Amino acid sequence: AIPPIISGDYECRVAIEGGVSCGAAMNIGAVADLDQAEAMAYAVGKNCAMQGRGVGTRWTFAPVADVNLNPDNPITNVRAFSDDPARVGALCAAFVRGCQEHGMAATLKHFPGDGMDSVDQHVCPSTIPLSLERWREVCAPPFQVGLDAGAWSVMMGHFLFPALDDRDTLTGELLPATISPAAHRLLREEFGFDGVIVSDAIRMGGLAWHSPDEADSVVRNLAAGSDMVLLPEQPATALRAILHAVDEGLLDEAALMQSVRRILMLKTKLGLHLPGWGLLSRDVAEELFTRPDNGPVRELAEASITLQRDNDAAYPAAFAPGDTVILFDLPQETPQGVKLVVAGQETVSDECAMAKALHERGLVPVIVNNPAEFREQSANAVAAIYRFQARPQAGRNSIRLAYQALQFIEQTREPYSLRRYFVSLGSPYILRELPALKNMAVIYASVPSTEKAYVRALLGEIPFTGKCPVNLHREYSL
């Protein structure tokens, strides 16, 4: 779904279904050769721009410029390209160019940088526990390279940055970057950025704990230096609060006019003042939405899927026509009552692309999701593929495997003759929790292209050529 479009008292919310997903940012990061990875990032940026323009969208809140150093960070994870600042920067720059050269404004996020601690800013403020010197070595380079590539906007995140020591004058509490003048000055002055700064969603817990209400958050965000506020639930109330703050001298009218100038400049770069404002023809748009197995989408999937363990020399898998293969979907913890959705948090489809790909090759896939079904089907099966679902999800505040998933693995060790394969449809870090499991692959995203590529690699039609873009064996260190 896209945010509401506000005009006076009119609100229109439009749900857009379909489209071709290229997977997660970490799919691009996992392409082993950096030159090829940059070409893929450019192609994905172009694909994003063209599909967006097909439905009238001209601004994307991507790419993620965060460096995922903490394996337990619950919300960055596969949304980041890598834990290597240089690789993250190079891929951000390529995505920005691919996106903006084809008519879509890109957004570097989340400034000053996520991926450092183990907290989800949808729930409470995350913390950047770095000195300014270390921050300039780790977090700043991807933003600098992305801005050098011409990114037109930057998203400010709900992060506490103790090194800036920017505190509330009344309470003495550290301010999240979204309402921190020091964080905005850092972006404007150190990077020389004069494009649009947009807040992360204003209702997220990372900011809401620091304001009495949404209207206060909006005013404080603009006063700190942002140009736009993302997703207020009460836009009319927010507008009245802004006007009142101007009257009371809490907001500087000249500064707001500078924000208007930046927003109008962004719209001008996109040609929104021109007839047709860059919409694609219906034919072009429909083709883009119906070609998941063509071009860069398939190339990226095949270049990124990664074989982390082949202990039994089990690949390629040898099956005979008519063989039954169990697909065991292991559970993931689900937060309750969370409405926010983050990039990479896919909805599980009724149609399993992995099952469809196996069926097309003459095999009989059987999908199960509990040990009882597994044991029932195992009598006739020759192999089982365990599918791990650990992916970033807003509000869960964890990226670890669900305890129930570990139980299910333990409860299905028999029959011992059954060949077993394990694949993560998201986080590669789960391998740290499962050191004894063999035959483990990572595809980083549960989308049709990656699931089909996994089947092709499993059966030896293509090689596993991806390389995990994060160090799974290094202890977390700042």
Spell out the alpha helix ranges (H) of 77-118: 85-100
Dump pLDDT digits (tens) for 146-161: 999 999 999 999 999 9
Helices and strands in the chain, H and E counts: 16, 14
Dump pLDDT digits (tens) for 314-343: 889 999 999 999 999 998 766 554 444 444
For β-strands 196-201 and 228-230, DSSP reports them as parallel
DSSP 8-state secondary structure symbol assigned to residue 110: E
* Residue 131 C-beta-side C-alpha neighbours within 13 Å: 2
Q: Does 122 qualify as catalytic in the annotation?
A: yes
Query: In sequence order, what DSSP letters do the residues of 195-252 get, joined into one string?
Result: SEEEEEETTSHHHHTTSSSHHHHHHHHHHHT-SEEE--S-HHHHHHHHHHHHHTTSS-
Cα–Cα distance measured from residue 398 to residue 394, given in angstroms and rounded to the nearest whole number: 9
Confidence of residue 6 (pLDDT cuts 50, 70, 90): very low
Question: Using an 8 Å Cβ cutoff, are 342 and 79 in contact?
Answer: yes
Catalytic site residue from 110, 122, 184, 210 = 122
In degrees to the nearest 10, what's the CA dihedral of 15, 21, 24, 27?
A: 180
Cα–Cα distance measured from residue 92 to residue 96, given in angstroms and rounded to the nearest whole number: 6
Q: Does 200 qualify as catalytic in the annotation?
A: yes
H/E element holding 35?
A: helix 34-54
Average pLDDT, the chain: 90
Cα–Cα distance measured from residue 45 to residue 39, given in angstroms and rounded to the nearest whole number: 10
Residues 211-232, mean pLDDT to the nearest whole number? 96
Question: Using an 8 Å Cβ cutoff, are 338 and 378 in contact?
Answer: no
Indicate the pTM of the whole model.
Answer: 0.92
Who's near 258: CB < 8 A, 6+ residues apart? none
CA-to-CA dists, residue 373 to 71, 193, 215, 282, 403, angstroms:
32, 56, 51, 45, 19
Confidence of residue 400 (pLDDT cuts 50, 70, 90): confident
DSSP 8-state secondary structure symbol assigned to residue 105: B
Catalytic site residue from 200, 227, 323, 329 = 200
Which residue would you say has higher pLDDT here, 291 or 252?
Answer: 252
DSSP 8-state secondary structure symbol assigned to residue 268: H
* pLDDT greater than 80 at residue 280: no
Write out the E strands in 48-131.
107-111, 126-127
CA-to-CA dists, residue 427 to 192, 324, 375, 436, angstroms:
35, 27, 27, 17
Cα–Cα distance measured from residue 161 to residue 177, given in angstroms and rounded to the nearest whole number: 7
Bridge partners of 309, per DSSP, are: 440
> 349 is written with which tokens?
């489809």
DSSP 8-state secondary structure symbol assigned to residue 441: E
